[in-house]
Amino acid sequence: MRLAGRHLWLGLATAPIVGFFALPILYLVAVSLKTKDDVLDGHFFPTAPTLANWPTAFEAANVVGFILNSVVVSLLAGLLTIVLGLPSAYAVLRLKIGGKWLSDVTLSSYMAPPIVALIPLFFLLKATGLLDTRAGLVLIYGFANVPVAFWLLTPFLRRIPVEIEEAAAMDGAGPLRTLLQIVVPIIAPGIVATFIIVTVLSYNELLFASAFTFSDATRTLPVGISLFQGDRLVNFGQMAAASLAGIAPVYLIALFMQRYLVSGLAHGAVK
């Protein structure tokens, strides 16, 4: 009886928090079921629910293609970020390359507004023939998120006893072999958690994608959703339907990888 009452109070306490985060999704669902007149009226619930926005959204734009582009680009960019960020964090933290100032500079570069890099990157991609290509976006996202991966992986690396790496060195293992065969298995949950976070960051990015892609073959989902905004009228119902379809992959990834994400972040937070 006491336990049931405790669960009841716990449910009442967490309900506002769950409602706060679920409200945007519920509102998107409601808008996707509204007619244009319903959207303009501003009511939360549709007065005449309709599913017409869903097929219309997929007919009006290449929503499936946009989602596939986002998934491919974000996954490859996430892998590239890990490949670059993990050795960088290990080199700075364990091998003392660059000193303490290098880690500070790494994060400060991420704090700068992305707009300052837009023009240089545009001409760089144009010069290398990577403008309006998925490979170009993969490179941009992969490099841009390295500071995030660097700082997310650093707590995991700090938790590894130095004696383990010293024992590996005494057995003849070099830095690269120690990293791959000793360090990576130990901090695997942290690597997975970091990969998920940087992948979601790439999946949601809009500024670079809108500036560097011009065709349906390369446009990502955020750019594709922005196309529903016409010159005089915004198709909110179709935009909501496309948005719900677009966030489905992210939610599925988070759902299936939740155990690794929570475990990894929890281990990184404990010192």
What is the full per-residue pLDDT of the chain (271 aa) written as tens digits?
Answer: 566 667 777 777 778 887 887 888 888 899 999 888 888 877 788 888 888 889 988 888 899 999 999 999 999 999 999 999 999 999 988 888 877 777 777 777 777 788 888 999 999 999 999 999 999 999 999 999 999 999 889 888 888 888 888 888 888 888 888 888 889 998 888 898 899 899 999 999 999 999 999 998 999 999 988 888 766 677 888 889 999 998 888 888 777 777 776 666 666 554 4
Q: Which amino acid is at 75?
A: L
Using DSSP, how many helices (H) and how many strands (E) does the chain show? 16, 0
- Alpha-carbon distance values, 229 to 167, 205, 223, 234 (Å): 61, 18, 11, 4
Which residues pair with residue 229 across a beta bridge?
A: 234
Instruction: Name the DSSP class of 183.
Output: I
